[in-house]
Amino acid sequence: MTSFTIPEIETDRLVLRAPHLDDLPAMTEFFATERSHMVGGPKDAFACWGSLSNRLGHWALRGFGLWHLTEKSSGAFVGWAGMIDVPGWAEPELGWTLMEAAEGKGLAFEAAQAARAYAARNQGLNGVISYIAHANDRSRALAERLGATYESEGELLGKTAQIWRHPRIDISKTDLTTERTGQ
């Protein structure tokens, strides 16, 4: 039997945790919208099941991956953030997605910052990239707020995208509210 552990991170307002089966209805609802086209959608319920399973498999095979985000104040599943490195990616990527109701609160910044710091400090992933769809102004603004800079044009899954490079961070100065091991 294969076993692995997905660490859990708490920030001021979020818990970055392992993906759960209970997240599937919200994922399916999100991927049924046009908004999802910037992150591989739209997808039907079967493809969403595959995405959820793949997220767990990514952690098992790579030792890192996407965390699902729970807002502490409401307990709601509000999106995902973390590291992606699968066939078709030039190198590990810091990615993030929020449900529409969670946007505009600074949660993506908080999650991406925590995921990036954890990846640099614990997974040897520092100075990573983010692929950003040309039409995704919100993600581009977040990348800039995180200190990333435009590096080049690229292609991901047959679509053109911008590649943004995150600065290397001083891992001795990273500050996460709480880290603990969880599944």
Residue 175 covered by a domain: no
Residue 158 covered by a domain: no
Please report the sign of the dihedral spanned by the C-alpha atoms of residue 67, residue 70, residue 72, residue 75. Answer: negative
Q: Please name the residues in contact with 79: beta carbons below 8 A apart, sequence gap of 6 or more.
A: 68, 69, 96, 97, 98, 99, 102, 107, 108, 111
* pLDDT score at 142: 96
Residue 122 covered by a domain: yes
Residue 162 covered by a domain: no
Its domain, for residue 100, covers: 6-126
With vertex at residue 124, the alpha carbon angle to CA 120 and CA 128, rounded to the nearest 5 degrees, is 60
* pLDDT score at 30: 84
| Distance (Å, whole) CA 88 – CA 66 | 17
Q: What pTM does this model have?
A: 0.89
Residue 71 covered by a domain: yes
The CATH number for 89's domain is 3.40.630.30
* pLDDT score at 179: 45
* pLDDT score at 50: 85
Look at residues 61, 43, 52, 81 and name the one whose alpha carbon lies nearest to residue 4.
Answer: 61
Residue 180 covered by a domain: no
Domain count, the chain: 1
* pLDDT score at 178: 45
| Distance (Å, whole) CA 131 – CA 86 | 13
Residue 153 covered by a domain: no
Full DSSP string of 111-161: HHHHHHHHHHHHSS--S-EEEE-TT-HHHHHHHHHTT-EEEEEEEETTEEE
DSSP H helical ranges for 22-64:
24-31, 45-62
Tell me the pLDDT of the chain (183 aa) as tens digits: 578 899 999 999 999 999 999 999 998 888 887 776 666 667 788 888 988 999 999 999 999 999 999 999 999 999 999 999 999 899 999 999 998 888 899 999 999 999 999 999 999 999 999 999 998 899 999 999 999 999 999 988 888 999 999 999 887 765 554 444 444
